Amino acid sequence: MSEIPSELRYTKSHEWIRTMDDGNLEVGITQHAQEMLGDMVFVELPEVGSTLGGGEDCAVVESVKAASDIYAPIAGEIVEVNDLLRDAPETVNNDPYGDGWLFRMRPVDEGELDELLDAEGYTGVVAADS
Amino acid sequence: MPFIPHTEEEIRQMLDAIRVSDIDELFSEIPGGLHSGKLTSVPSGISEMDVGRIMLARSRQDGHYINFIGGGVYEHHIPAAVWELTTRGEFYTAYTPYQAEASQGTLQLLYEYQTMMSSLMALDVSNASLYEGASALAEAVLAAARARKKLNKVVIPRTVNPRYRKVVESIVRNQRIELVEIPFSVTEGTIDIDVLRAFDKGSVAAVVVPQPNYFGLLEDVDTLTDVAHELDALVIGLVNPTAMALLRPPGRWGADGADIVVGEGQPLGIPLSSGGPYMGFMCCRNKYVRQIPGRIVGRTRDDKGNEGFTLTLQAREQHIRRSKATSNICTNQGLMVVAATIYMSLLGPEGLRRVAARCHHNTNILLAKLTAIDGVYRCFETPFFHESVVRLDQPVADVLRAIEAQGINGGIDLSEDYPELGNALLTCATETRTVDEIENYATHLDRIMSRRSLDPPCAEKVAG
Amino acid sequence: MLIFERSRTGCTNPSQAPDDDSDISGIPTSLLRAEPPIIPSVSELQTIRHYTRLSQKNFSIDTNFYPLGSCTMKYNPRACNKYAMLPGFLNRHPGSSDRTGQGFMASMFELQEILRDVTGMAAVSLSPLAGAQGEFTGVAMIRAYHDANGDDQRDQILVPDAAHGTNPATATMCGYQVKEIPTRPDGDVDLDSLRQTVGPRTAGLMLTNPSTLGVFERQILEVAHIVHEAGGLLYYDGANLNAIMGKVKPGDMEFDVIHMNLHKTFSTPHGGGGPGAGPVGVNERLRPFLPIPYVIDDGGEYRWAVEEDCPLSIGRLSAFMGNAGVLLRAYVYARLLGREGMQRVAEHATLNANYMMRCLEDKGVEMAYPGRRATHEFIVTLKSLKEETGVSAMDVAKRLLDKGYHAPTVYFPLLVPECFLIEPTETESKEELEGFVGALVEILKEAKADPEMVKHAPYTTPVHRLDEVKAARELDVAWQIPEN
């Protein structure tokens, strides 16, 4: 059974979201997602400073057998991207909830977070997938 | 029935195993009303001998012409070994190399091709081919627009092959790309760079730079590249591969070199074949490798440490990425790549350079002899690669028709696509032309131009 | 060893290139190339030996059975090659006048007519250079049709979720949004879902029949009716034409436009990845939009239709008229088969597929659609093998290489887990089919007895299982001259 940390929020498209101390959001893909995709070979990250609507595709994670779009969970502005992934895309596989984070964003409206799934809700999504 | 190996007995055994009484039962799921597929106008089958008779007759009918015509595809000497090897069953009847372990022959050859091609263009990456030159240019335009995200304006000069421009328009029409034409100097025959300079910086995604251009002339590629880059536009080179064995390649144009390069690979060991199949090539800098379409082969190792080759970056392609793929391309021109790679290996860099040089040399002789005729003038004094334009004081179409009756393809009539050039004829002489053939062309042209009728009305054509 | 590693400076083949005495003073020296390209300097014999040996590392139809679903790997008759490469056709420059190409053009015109009969359509253009370009042509014509009718709110193309990847990719290239229609468990398109999805934004539906699942779309007339009623057009992906040629005509199934893959159904060679040819056929409604050029019979003389003849044409898709050499091969094939031979193709392709399916089922292999007849292909699922032993369809595919068989299509269609899409074609003998069945059954036994062995197959090919992750992460796509 894939690890699903309880303190994070989730989307149906397998992104996780962590609220950081400064109020910004950190976003990555779940253990389940990286297992499905297989070994990462490349990660395309958004441009710092770009503004995105909720649900807008902003990044791509590419494995040998698939290239998956990553969607901004809620509206916001990209403040930082994980440059480590340029040379070490496999970090997404090895540490999906830690060093494998994709990007950080400043949300427009924190309230929108409540509409995302919690760990239990996401557990349901993973179960339906198998 | 041809190519179906079953005997009656075997058919019976198979039907029994499937537990049906006849083959028609196997089509029972098809709604009755649709079983109307009987062919009515396809002729009955004939033997290989009879087909041969028909095809030989037609081939003879089409005969043999001495070519002074180019316009993107050229007659070159193709060593005998090229097609003997290329039509070996193991290359000819192999499938796309998706199962890498079963396709190391094709894959290694493609890797060698990619090496030769990218190096010929002095860029980092080559794909494993596209269909042909014009659609390759369209794909380059789309790739550049993808790479430049918010920009969609692409500049294409009028010195680019007019067919290519039409094809680009047909292919990119539905993807909101704005194609902007820029003019050329009627005296020089090359791009009017000042018009390019006048664009706003940051307003153009890419600029197409041909070398040589459609008139065979050499453009000022360094200035064009630098001006385009100053505008923050990508440079798409459109080049003749033979020329690149002799001329400075696109990766070395200007300060930073071209970004994406495409062209028609036919001159590399592929016969004229009445129009195809040919071979589009595409090369680019490392940073655009994920934007370009087509297959790419990578070198890797197997689990015993042996070197091996495999298709890579397939996640960009249609079978995985589907609606977000870089292109819908699936089948490419694989067999043509085999021929081109073997051709390049047989000629070597020195051989290719000599072919290019001889083409230039022969075209010089051709132009000298033609312009010695009354009523035939050099259109441009600008340096050319292996093709150039002459102006006649008579309509080109009539002259070409008359010269065709002498078994000669004299060139391409430019007057429809470039009325500002008058009665303009695009002509060339590759390394396959002898001085005798050139003189023969000039002699006949002289007669035709001065309307002397020393030849009988129906001059014989050279039979094939 | 790469050919570059055999290269030695100064090695030339003097009989292949002109002497070095050309005058290039007309070219400004600043425009000349400074460093030579990385092209090998090797002798003619070295070249021949190198590439001959490479060819021997390939599987090919000439050497192995290739039951690749949806690819139609049938025998490529050598006569097609010989007659397509006759000098009159081979040395002809495409810019030559129509007058001087009547023999070639007669063959092209007759091929157009043959394909019209096979497809039951009103007109054909041979110019698309491959199936994908044929698809582009078809969807672009649909777009042109709606634009001509002022119907510009139609921005969606429907595709079944089992569709080949080229379908949605093509729709995007033509500026459309893609909407997927689910497939029912029995393999047919979900009609209810289709009814709900069509509407004023529907430009068309792209469909393959028989479908990518290897079964015939039984409700095709109803599908056509639903789409046409909503004002959309119906596009036929002809990849599986081998299953129905001479039995059913796409025109009779109410399709408006179809593309054919001549490198499948008409046996032109696969060449390691091409070239192909993807001619399109249209009904009267779409005829004005056909791409140019195509051959017209102008009172006994053949000529190419050009812009002036077809003002509504979607235009040219390439510099010339298509993959002429491929088209000539298809023409020769069509003449060799003739009307009766073509009708037998579908019959025997279907017989072979059903026979294989029966043999495999009898040996306990699971079919994806057990209640359905196979068309010219069928799907096997190895899902339970994966669950039991951890051995995947890909592992079994690699082990098949050791037995001398090229694997069937793996993991397509995406809908069926751990699947093989198997298409024997009509040119394979009963013996060959049985050999494959035996080999597959043996591997399934091996997988249960020694899964690790199968997981690391193949063992007898020139290389073992390749590291594809390394290939993508550490991109090495061109050989570099070593530093020393």
* pLDDT tens digits, B293-302: 999 999 999 9
Q: Please tell me the pTM assigned to this model.
A: 0.94
> Contact B290/A65, CB-based, under 8 Å?
no
State the pairing for strand pair B206-211/B234-239: parallel
B vs C: CB pairs below 8 A: 683
B192: in domain: yes
Q: Which residue has the tokens 């491929």?
A: C326
Considering only alpha carbons, which residue of chain B is nearest residue A43? Answer: B290
Q: What angle do CA C94, C99, C101 make, to 5 degrees?
A: 45
Is C305 within 8 Å of C293 (Cβ atoms)? Answer: yes
Domain boundary among C287, C306, C336: C336
Reported as a single tens digit per residue, the pLDDT across B403-415 is 999 999 999 999 9
B388 and B426 in a common domain: yes
CB contact under 8 A, B320 and A69: no
- 3-state SS class at C237: strand
Domain end, chosen from C301, C336, C371, is at: C336
Residues B314 and B190 in one domain: yes
Q: How far is it, in rounded angstroms, from Cα A66 to Cα A57?
A: 16
Instruction: For residue B8, give the H/E element and its range.
Output: helix B8-18
Do B146 and B177 lie in one domain? The reply is yes
pLDDT band at B38 (very low <50, low <70, confident <90, very high): confident
Cβ proximity of B408 and B65 under 8 Å:
yes
Which residue in A44, A65, A69 is closest to B320 by CB distance?
A65
pLDDT tens digits along A9-56: 999 999 999 999 999 999 999 999 998 888 999 999 999 999 999 989
> Over the stretch B205-258, which tens digit does the pLDDT of each residue have?
999 999 999 999 999 999 999 999 999 999 999 999 999 999 999 999 999 999
Read off the amino acid at residue B117.
Answer: M
Per DSSP, B130 falls in state B
Query: Quick count: other Cβ atoms within 10 Å of Cβ B201?
Result: 9
Please state whether beta strands B206-211 and B153-157 pair in parallel, antiparallel, or not at all (unpaired).
parallel
Point out the domain boundary residue: B285, B309, B342. B342
pLDDT of residue C416: 84
Residues B190 and B231 in one domain: yes
Q: Are residues C221 and C287 in the same domain?
A: yes
As for how many domains chain C has, the answer is 2
Mutate to test the interface with A, among B146, B290, B317, B322 (most CBs of A within 10 A): B290
Q: What CATH number did the domain enclosing B257 receive? A: 3.40.640.10
Here the tokens at position C431 are 């013996």
Last residue of a domain, one of C296, C321, C336: C336
β strands within A1-130, DSSP E: 9-10, 15-19, 25-29, 40-44, 51-52, 57-63, 67-71, 76-81, 103-107
Are C331 and C347 found together in one domain?
no
Give percent above pLDDT 90 in chain B: 84
Residues of chain C with confidence (pLDDT) below 50: none
For residue C267 the two structure tokens come to 């046996």
Find the largest Cα–Cα distance for chain B.
83
Clarify whether residues C206 and C170 are in a common domain. yes
C182, C190 in Cβ contact below 8 A?
A: yes
Quick one: C384 and C331 in the same domain?
Answer: no
Instruction: Output the six-digit token pair for B448.
Output: 């035709």
Q: Do C139 and C248 belong to one domain?
A: yes
Q: What is the pLDDT of residue B458?
A: 53
If asked whether residues B352 and B326 sit together in one domain, one would say no
Q: Are both C427 and C329 inside the same structural domain? A: no
Q: Look at residue B215 and tell me if it is in a domain.
A: yes
Which residues, other chains included, contact A98 with Cβ-Cβ below 8 Å and sequence gap of 6+? none
Q: Confidence band (pLDDT; 50, 70, 90) for B464?
A: very low
Same domain, B338 and B368: no
Residue of C nearest to B52 (CA): C83
Q: Is C195 within the bounds of a domain?
A: yes
Neighbouring-strand partners of residue B238 = B210, B262
> CB-based contact (8 Å) between B320 and chain A?
yes
Do B154 and B272 lie in one domain? The reply is yes
User: Can you tell me the distance from the alpha carbon of C64 to that of A84, in angstroms, rounded to the nearest whole number?
Assistant: 46
Task: Write the single-letter amino acid at C107.
Answer: S
Q: Are residues C204 and C241 in the same domain?
A: yes
Residue written as token pair 């019976």: B12
C-alpha C108/C-alpha C331 separation (Å) is 8
**Which residue, chain included where needed, has tokens 């101390």?**
A21
Q: Looking at the structure, do residues C446 and C299 belong to the same domain, yes or no?
A: no
Range of the domain at B238: 80-342
Which whole-number Å values give the CA distances from B356 to B369, B370, B430, C313, C365, in the listed order?
Answer: 20, 21, 8, 38, 60
Decide if C51 touches B, using CB distance below 8 A. Answer: yes
Q: Are residues B336 and B362 in the same domain?
A: no
A42 contacts chain C (CB < 8 A): yes
Nearest to B238 by CA among B218, B215, B264: B264
Residue B392 and residue B335 share a domain: no
Q: Please indicate, yes or no, if residue C166 is contained in any of the structural domains.
A: yes
Q: Give the CA angle between residues C216, C220, C222 to the nearest 5°.
A: 150
pLDDT at position C264, please? 94
Task: Give a yes or no: residue B10 inside a domain.
Answer: no
Q: What is the CATH number of the domain that holds C237?
A: 3.40.640.10
What residues in C contact A41, CB-CB < 8 Å?
469, 472-473
| pLDDT value, residue B455 | 47
Q: Please choose, from the candidates C286, C285, C291, C324, the residue with its C-alpha nearest in 3D space to the C-alpha of residue C307.
A: C291
What is the distance between the terminal CA atoms of chain B, rounded to a whole angstrom? 34
Tell me if C314 is assigned to some domain.
yes
Q: What is the CATH number of domain A11-111?
A: 2.40.50.100
State the residue range of the domain holding C376. Answer: 342-470
- Tokens matching residue C75: 């025998």
Eight-class DSSP state of A108: S
Q: Is residue C6 within 8 angstroms of chain B, CB to CB?
A: no
State the Cα–Cα distance between residues C227 and C217, nearest whole angstrom. Answer: 15
Nearest CA in chain C to A42: C473
Q: Are residues C302 and C281 in the same domain?
A: yes
> Distance (Å) from the C-alpha of residue A20 to the closest C-alpha of chain C?
31
Q: How far apart are CA B337 and CA B109, in angstroms?
A: 8
Nearest CA in chain B to A68: B321
CA distance C34 to C318: 33
CB C257 within 8 A of CB C283: yes
Would you state the pLDDT for residue C372?
A: 86
- Structural domain count, chain B: 2
